[in-house]
Amino acid sequence: AHQWRGVITEYADRLPDHLRERVVTLGEGGTPLVPAPELSRRTGADVHVKVEGMNPTGSFKDRGMTAAISAAAGRGARAVVCASTGNTSASAAAYATRAGMTCAVLVPDGKIAMGKLSQAVAHGARLLQVDGNFDDCLVAARKLAEAYPVELVNSVNPDRIEGQKTAAFEIVDVLGDAPDIHCLPVGNAGNITAYWKGFREYAGLGGGAGLPAAATRTPQMWGFQAAGAAPIVKGHPVDEPETIATAIRIGNPASWQQALDARDASGGVIESVSDEQILAAHRILSAEVGVFVEPASAAGVAGLLARAEQGLVPAGARVVVTVTGHGLKDPQWALRLPDGGDVVPTRVSADVVSIADALGLD
């Protein structure tokens, strides 16, 4: 039987040759595009979610990391470094291990979800908790890679964008054309950059020379930042970004200009959503759609619902929302009630009558 071979091999004709000198893969990509009838009902659109938590390390970062680590391995690199709010470090650590490389990760002190921290440690990364936020970590990682024999695998590395653009290809391949609207969370803005590149190339615009177009159009790109970490929306960097969605707690995105380009060229928007809206969307995704995500991943759904409430989602529009990371990365939010209280499991003795009783069966 055919097994999905990872994005570098599956999309070989659409990716640069240098990625194939030494392919380092964990079988990333090929993630489910799941119809979301509950979101369709709430918005009047035809909504699908692209479940990127199904990648090998539980986030979309694996698409970019297979490319960045393969390219580094092809050049004979021995060590890589990244700054991360967690998912990039988990992914870099896993792919570096696979390639036999050393991986250093710089994470903001105390602001990274336990699941992600565990992954980086489990995969043998040299983990440094930096006294500063993500933006400080990224500045330091860039300087380290300039001055020492270590390659930078953050999304400012163009190979990362090449790998991540394959998610747009998969969506078009499944739907038969680009959606009308594509929603996603925005942090450092690498992913919106990558999706826009992928959608454009599949529509025969820039890149992919000589290949037939696979789509007749490009979608509007709708990006959403957390309100306490919304530099692109505000138009200036945020010195002390704050949000419960730690993955997108970023005040000075590296791909800021590319995000603006994607927004403007696509006729889209970049807006902000509050932590309350993010947590409400997180609950809807778990309890109604059946997809468990980490909080940052719910920002795209939160933004879509907010715009639908304002009457800004055209009836019947085909909408894809990328949910970027798995709920098990940062599971504590499921155990918190909307009023801030904790979920307390009901205790019962081990007899069937008490259990039936507790379940309200008679």
* Biggest distance spanned by C-alpha atoms of the chain: 71
Binding of ligand F0G by 246 (CB under 6 A) = no
Shortest distance in whole angstroms from residue 255 CB to ligand F0G: 7
Report the site for ligand F0G in 294-333 (rule: CB under 6 A).
294, 296-297, 324-325
Site string for ligand F0G, 269-298 (x = CB under 6 A): -------------------------x-xx-
CA 167 to chain centre: 10
Q: Which of 24, 40, 133 is nearest to 83 (CA)?
A: 133
Cross-strand pairs, 322? 50
69 neighbors 96 (Cβ within 8 angstroms): yes
Exposure string over 75-87, b if 16+ CB within 10 A, otherwise e: eebebbbbbbbbb
Measured distance CA(19)–CA(164) in Å, rounded = 13
Can residue 117 be called a binding residue for ligand F0G (CB under 6 A)?
no
The residue from 31, 55, 57, 59 that contacts ligand F0G (CB under 6 A) is 59
Note whether 86 binds ligand F0G by CB under 6 A: yes
- Contact region with ligand F0G (CB under 6 A), list: 19-27, 140-148, 187-195, 348-356: 187-195
Least separation in angstroms between residue 129's CB and ligand F0G is 14
Q: Does 190 bind ligand F0G (CB under 6 A)?
A: yes
- Work out which of 55, 87, 252, 277 binds ligand F0G, going by CB under 6 A: 87
* Least distance between ligand F0G and beta carbon 4 (Å): 22
Contact between 119 and ligand F0G by CB under 6 A: the answer reads no
Per-residue string for binding with ligand F0G, 143-162, x by CB under 6 A?
------------x-------
Q: Does 88 bind ligand F0G (CB under 6 A)?
A: yes
Pick the piece of the chain touching ligand F0G (CB under 6 A) from 23-31, 72-80, 85-93, 206-214: 85-93
Of 84 and 243, the one with the shorter C-beta distance to ligand F0G is 84
Work out whether the CA dihedral 126, 132, 134, 137 comes out positive or negative. Answer: negative
Report the residue from 55, 84, 166, 258 that binds ligand F0G according to the rule CB under 6 A.
84
Q: CA-CA distance, 273 to 260, in Å (whole number)? A: 18
Q: Please say which residue, 74 or 188, places its beta carbon nearer to ligand F0G.
A: 188
| Identity of the residue, 60 or 202, whose beta carbon is nearer to ligand F0G in the bound complex | 60
**In sequence order, what are the beta bridge partners of 270?**
223
Contacts with 70 (C-beta within 8 Å, 6 or more apart), sequence order: 8, 19, 20, 21, 22, 23, 24, 25, 99, 159
Q: Which is nearer to ligand F0G, 7 or 74 (CB)?
A: 7
Kindly list the residues in this chain that would bind ligand F0G in the complex (CB under 6 A). Answer: 59, 61, 84-88, 155, 185-191, 247-248, 294, 296-297, 324-325
